């Protein structure tokens, strides 16, 4: 019998928010291009409600998803929230049209973004507020000072960063306790951020890969499908399972607008990959996309 590896089921963010490592990303419950309302609002509501029914208690969203739509739907579907539900949101990207994401991490803009998120989510405090992007046009220190102040004022409980280097994380740590890092990362796109993942492990920070099923090259898809046959699993399920096996600090936030797809993603958490399969996936050719 092939040797399997055990996977930790939960992770504690900031020493006090224990969540299941299979979470949900609420970007795709919006319209095409992450713009406007979803084509099927009823299905989007069902997706959110089914998320909680499955035992998922970590939902990741952002004010820019829609914009505003994702946060509004979360509140409509789930408020009043279950006691153990952690809703993480983000600020720092603006929207001018479908698939267009200008950066704005100026304190004045972030203030409005945070106030809007609190109102839409019907909360007095955000459990995990994440800087969506570092703004090259705004001194990083000014952005960090705003986040520090928001935490001191009790508007956010914990703070995370997204698409950041180790140096940028360390800079953030000078202002507040960085509890999470959300960078693009997947089984076939990880070379760029491997140092950041290791740093998160050393510092006991959550590492939240966005686009976790990138599968950006044919070689990756074929290998994932080949391994999936052993577990009666899809390529996407294997890609998600590999992430859970790869690091105990990884929290998964695959997104979808369909209940069926949500349930398929959730099943990935119960796949126990054999050590030999993990080794094969570890050696996958890396995508540049």
Is-catalytic flag, 65? yes
Question: pLDDT tens digits for 119-178?
Answer: 999 999 999 999 999 999 999 999 999 999 999 999 999 999 999 999 999 999 999 999
Question: Could you write out the three-class secondary structure of the chain?
Answer: CCCECCCCCEEEECCCEEEECECEECCCCCCCCCECCCCCHHHHHHHHHHHHHCCCCEEECCCCCECCHHHHHHHHHHCCCCCCCEEEEEECECCCECCECCECCCHHHHHHHHHHHHHHHCCCCEEEEEECCCCCCCCHHHHHHHHHHHHHCCCEEEEEEECCCHHHHHHHHCCCCEEEEECECECCECHHHHHHHHHHHHHCCEECCECCCCCCCHHHHHHHHHHHHHHCCCHHHHHHHHHHHHCCCECECCECCCHHHHHHHHHHHHCCCEHHHHHHHHCCCCCCC
* pTM, to two decimals: 0.95
Domains of the chain: 10-282 (3.20.20.100)
Give the pLDDT confidence score for residue 1 in this predicted structure.
37
Query: What would the two tokens of residue 220 be?
Result: 């990756």
Question: pLDDT tens digits for 41-98?
Answer: 999 999 999 999 999 999 999 999 999 999 999 999 999 999 999 999 999 999 999 9
Is 70 exceeded by the pLDDT of residue 218?
no
Give the pLDDT confidence score for residue 6 in this predicted structure.
73
């Amino acid at each position: 019998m092939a040797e399997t590896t055990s996977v930790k089921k939960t992770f504690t963010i900031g020493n006090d928010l224990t969540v299941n490592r299979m979470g949900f990303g609420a970007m795709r419950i919006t319209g095409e291009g992450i713009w406007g309302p979803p084509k099927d609002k009823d299905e989007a509501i069902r997706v959110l409600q089914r998320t909680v029914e499955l035992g998922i208690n970590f939902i990741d969203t952002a004010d820019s998803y829609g914009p505003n739509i994702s946060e509004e739907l979360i509140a409509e579907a789930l408020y009043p929230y279950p006691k153990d539900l952690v809703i993480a949101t983000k600020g720092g990207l603006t929207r001018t049209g479908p698939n267009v994401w200008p950066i704005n991490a100026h304190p004045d803009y972030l203030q409005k973004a945070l106030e809007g998120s609190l109102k839409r989510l019907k909360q007095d405090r955000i459990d995990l507020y994440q800087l969506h992007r570092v703004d090259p046009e705004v001194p990083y220190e000014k952005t960090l000072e705003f986040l520090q102040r928001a935490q001191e004022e009790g508007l956010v409980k914990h703070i995370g960063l997204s698409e950041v280097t180790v140096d940028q994380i360390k800079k953030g740590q000078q202002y507040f306790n960085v509890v999470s890092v959300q960078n693009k990362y997947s089984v076939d796109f990880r070379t760029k951020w491997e140092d950041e993942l290791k740093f998160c492990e050393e510092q006991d920070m959550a590492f939240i890969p966005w686009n976790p099923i990138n599968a950006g090259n044919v070689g990756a898809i074929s290998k994932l499908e080949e391994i999936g046959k052993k577990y009666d699993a899809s390529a996407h399920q294997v890609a998600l399972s590999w992430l859970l096996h790869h690091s105990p600090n990884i929290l998964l936030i695959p997104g979808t607008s369909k209940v069926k797809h949500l349930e398929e993603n959730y099943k990935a958490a119960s796949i126990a990959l054999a050590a030999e399969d993990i080794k094969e996936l570890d050696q996958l050719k890396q995508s540049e996309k």
